Amino acid sequence: MRRPNPSETSLPARRRAPAVACLLLFPLAFVLFAALPGCLPHVDERAREFSEDGVSLFQRGEHGHACECFEAALALQPRDVNLLYNIGQCQDRLGKTAKAEEAYTQCLLASANHAPCRHALALLLLRSGRRADAEKMIQAWLAAEPKRPDAYAEEGWRLRQDGDIDAAKARLQQALALDPQNVRANVELGVLYEHLELPERALALYERALARDPKQDELVDRINALKVKGVRKPRPDS
């Protein structure tokens, strides 16, 4: 595994400028992104290597070294918003809240509909006791993107945190009306149904989400836990 040397991790001065403070994560896990071809017109091969090393280090709990790799990749690929998000995730895990918030803000300034980053920022704000800021941020996203299922799913998640189960369910159903296969909305509604002691419905939603995105190890664990308890998907006529 190649780690960057100090000269490779030095970012351009414009990347070190402070930004106005502005969090899917999916509800079950942190999500990282490697530099993928197709995300950008040209992907620097060294940036890809640093990014992949960063993901590996993060998964091993080496968040400081992972952050160095993502910063090195960002210096080579400054338009890759996923790298900004990944840096925020590392700083979040390191307890560096202000730096995490800055990275998330920069990501959203460049890509306002980056759903995992929106969720990561919402989580950070809630943990920091800034519930009103989290609510304002999510509602502003929903107002700006009234046809985006991820925005409804995020609002549904927030309402569930507040204990407003009926309103949360309504928002998640709105998300699924826009996109029945939306991973986040299916998982969130599944979590809500588990809370309501309707595990059969939860299982059906989890399996739909997994079919859309198989790379969800914690969701697999959740599905298996339900099946061990004897839970089965409801019959079509039930």
Report how far Cα 206 is from the mean position of its chain's Cα atoms.
17
Give the mean pLDDT of 83-96.
Answer: 96
> If pLDDT is split at 50, 70 and 90, which confidence band does 233 have?
confident
DSSP string over 175-197: HHHH-TT-HHHHHHHHHHHHHTT
CA dist., res. 104 & res. 116, Å (int): 10
- 3 or 99: which leads in pLDDT: 99
> If pLDDT is split at 50, 70 and 90, which confidence band does 44 have?
confident
CA dist., res. 96 & res. 90, Å (int): 9
pLDDT digits (tens, 9 = 90+) for 16-33: 222 222 223 333 445 666
Q: Which tokens go with 201?
A: 């419905």
**6-10, 111-115, 201-205 — which is least confidently predicted?**
6-10
- 3 or 97: which leads in pLDDT: 97
DSSP annotation of 11 reads: P
Q: Would you say residue 178 has pLDDT above 50?
A: yes
pLDDT digits (tens, 9 = 90+) for 96-144: 999 999 999 999 999 999 999 999 999 999 999 999 999 999 999 999 9
> If pLDDT is split at 50, 70 and 90, which confidence band does 9 have?
very low
User: Is 18 exposed, middle or buried, given 0-12, 13-18 or 19+ CB atoms closer than 10 A?
Assistant: exposed
CA dist., res. 80 & res. 47, Å (int): 10
